[in-house]
Structure formats: structure tokens, C-alpha cells
């Protein structure tokens, strides 16, 4: 009995401090964030991180409709700006913590030779996977890049729109499309199945902002996570996955 009481009294303070932080993050951050989570949890005993990965536009939509989220990490500035304009994201704790590159990938097996964006007009290239322009940042970067190259309308009939960047990657890896536009960090994860044909320019710089959600019930802890992402430990993980500094 004494032992039970003792263990209970030991457990109580732990239970009191047990808290869950919900982080909605862009799909391209999936692997890096899963590795960063235990490192953050180690600095705050009793804290558990819960992730929700999807296209940034979809995540913002969920937050705007009242999803109980504490931190939002987007793959572009535009989505975050929209969140701040709608007053669902607190502007003060916002910071950029990573950067990425847009690349054109092809399946390693049986893909036509593609060296320039204009090669996508070849008849052998039947389908090109891109993110949905309205809700997926990588789709918007792709639209800007193909727009700068005067190719967007010419290639439109070939485009297949995906729900997020990882779906684009999957379409290419399965060989269902001849080419797709993803981030370099995603292409690196599917090495062996996809090959990087070229680095694509002509779009806004790919930078990742993170901020605290306005309705967060744990704003202080959320801020701690935002700060942690800028720290050496998290930055080392991001660098290992190929993310650049903002």
C-alpha cells in the first residue's frame, strides 16, 4: 500500500505535466519532423508531439475551420500569409526555418530522355504529375516555373494533379507518369525509383515558415517548438534530409 501511494505520488506530477502539442506540417517535412520529434520531447519531459502531415493549403483550411492545432509549418509563404490575413495564425512568432529546391524527376526505368523543360512537350511524355495548384505549394511553384518558361498552357493537357508532393513522387516512382515536379528532399528519399532530370528555376524561392496557431491552448509550448526548429539540433536533422537554410 505504501509502495502504491509512493508510486502514485511520483506519477502525479508527471501526469499533470503531460501535454500534447499538435503540429500540422507540410507533407515534404514528414521524415525530418518525425526524427526531430523525440529530440524536442527530450527537452520537455511529459510532452508528446502529434503530427498531421498534408498539403499546406489543406492544413490551413483545417485550421481555419477550427481544427485543434498548435503549430503550423507551411511549404510556402503564400499559404502562411493567407493564414495571417484570416487571423487564424499568430503573426508574431512566425519564422522561416528551412529552404528547398524544385526539381523535375523521372522514373529510373523506361522514361524518355528529358534534359530541359521544353523536352516535356515531346509526344513520348504523356503524363506529368504536379501538385494541385489551389492547395499544394509545390503545384504553385511548378505553375510559376512553367509559366516563366511559357509552357504552362502547352503542357496543361498532360498534367495530372496530386493531393500533395508525396503523391506526385509516388506517381513517378510507380512509373504511371513520365515526369513530375517535387522538392529535392523528396526525390532523395526515393532514390533508385526516381532520377532527378534537372533543377527547376523561375519560381518564388521555396522557404518554409512556421508559426503558432492563434487559437492554440498551449501557445507557450508551441513557441518553444518554433524556437527549437531554428536551433542547432533540429537544423542538423533538416540539413541531413537535404533542406537548406532559409
Partner 1 sequence: MLPLVLPPTVLGYGILVLMGRRGALGGWLREHFDYTVIFNWHGAVLASMLVALPLVLKGASSAFAQVDRNLEAAARTLRQSPWSTFVRVTLPLAWPGILAGTLLAFARAMGEFGASLMVAGSIPGQTQTASMAIYDAVQAGRDDLALMLALIVSAVSVAVLVLSNRFLQRSPS
Does 134 sit near partner 1 (CB under 8 A)?
Answer: yes
Does 161 sit near partner 1 (CB under 8 A)?
Answer: yes
Question: Pick from 87, 95, 174, 191: which binds partner 1 (CB under 8 A)?
Answer: 174
The interface with partner 1 within residues 177-196 (CB under 8 A) comprises 177
Does 154 sit near partner 1 (CB under 8 A)?
Answer: no
With respect to partner 1, which residue has the nearer C-beta, 161 or 228? 161
| Residues ≥6 apart with Cβ < 8 Å to 239 | none
Helix, strand, or coil here: 142? helix
Q: Where are the alpha helices (DSSP H) in the chain?
A: 2-17, 30-43, 56-64, 77-85, 137-148, 152-155, 165-173, 184-189, 219-230, 232-240
Binding marks (x or -) toward partner 1, 91..130, rule CB under 8 A? ------------------------------------x---
Question: Pick from 31, 44, 175, 235: which binds partner 1 (CB under 8 A)?
Answer: 175
By the 8 A CB rule, do 133 and 143 touch?
yes
Does 67 sit near partner 1 (CB under 8 A)?
Answer: no
* HEC secondary structure over 64-79: HCCCCCCEEECCCHHH
Shortest distance, position 159 Cβ to partner 1, whole Å: 7
Question: How many Å separate Cα 100 from the centre of its chain?
Answer: 10
By the 8 A CB rule, do 135 and 82 touch?
no
- Contacts to partner 1 by CB under 8 A: 55, 57-58, 60-61, 64, 127, 132, 134-135, 159-163, 174-177
Amino acid at each position: 500500500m505504501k509502495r502504491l501511494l509512493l508510486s502514485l505520488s511520483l506519477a502525479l506530477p508527471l501526469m499533470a505535466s503531460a501535454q500534447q502539442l499538435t503540429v500540422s506540417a507540410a507533407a515534404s517535412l514528414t521524415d525530418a519532423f518525425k526524427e526531430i520529434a523525440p529530440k524536442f520531447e527530450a527537452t520537455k519531459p511529459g510532452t508528446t508531439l502529434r503530427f498531421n502531415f498534408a498539403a499546406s493549403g489543406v492544413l490551413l483550411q483545417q485550421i481555419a475551420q477550427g481544427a485543434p492545432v498548435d503549430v503550423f509549418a507551411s511549404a510556402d509563404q503564400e499559404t502562411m500569409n493567407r493564414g495571417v490575413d484570416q487571423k487564424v495564425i499568430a503573426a508574431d512568432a512566425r519564422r522561416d526555418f528551412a529552404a528547398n529546391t524544385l526539381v523535375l524527376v523521372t522514373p529510373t526505368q523506361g522514361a524518355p530522355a528529358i534534359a530541359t523543360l521544353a523536352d516535356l512537350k515531346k509526344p513520348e511524355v504523356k503524363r506529368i504529375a504536379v501538385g494541385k495548384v489551389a492547395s499544394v505549394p509545390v503545384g504553385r511553384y511548378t505553375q510559376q516555373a512553367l509559366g516563366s518558361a511559357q509552357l504552362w498552357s502547352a503542357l496543361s493537357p498532360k498534367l495530372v494533379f496530386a493531393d500533395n508532393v508525396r503523391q506526385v513522387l509516388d506517381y513517378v516512382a510507380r512509373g504511371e507518369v513520365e515526369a513530375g515536379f517535387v522538392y529535392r528532399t523528396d526525390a532523395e528519399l526515393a532514390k533508385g525509383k526516381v532520377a532527378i532530370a534537372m533543377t527547376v528555376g523561375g519560381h518564388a524561392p521555396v522557404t518554409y515558415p512556421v508559426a503558432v496557431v492563434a487559437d492554440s491552448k498551449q501557445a507557450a509550448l508551441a513557441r518553444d517548438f518554433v524556437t527549437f526548429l531554428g536551433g542547432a539540433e533540429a537544423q542538423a536533422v533538416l540539413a541531413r534530409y537535404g533542406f537548406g537554410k532559409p
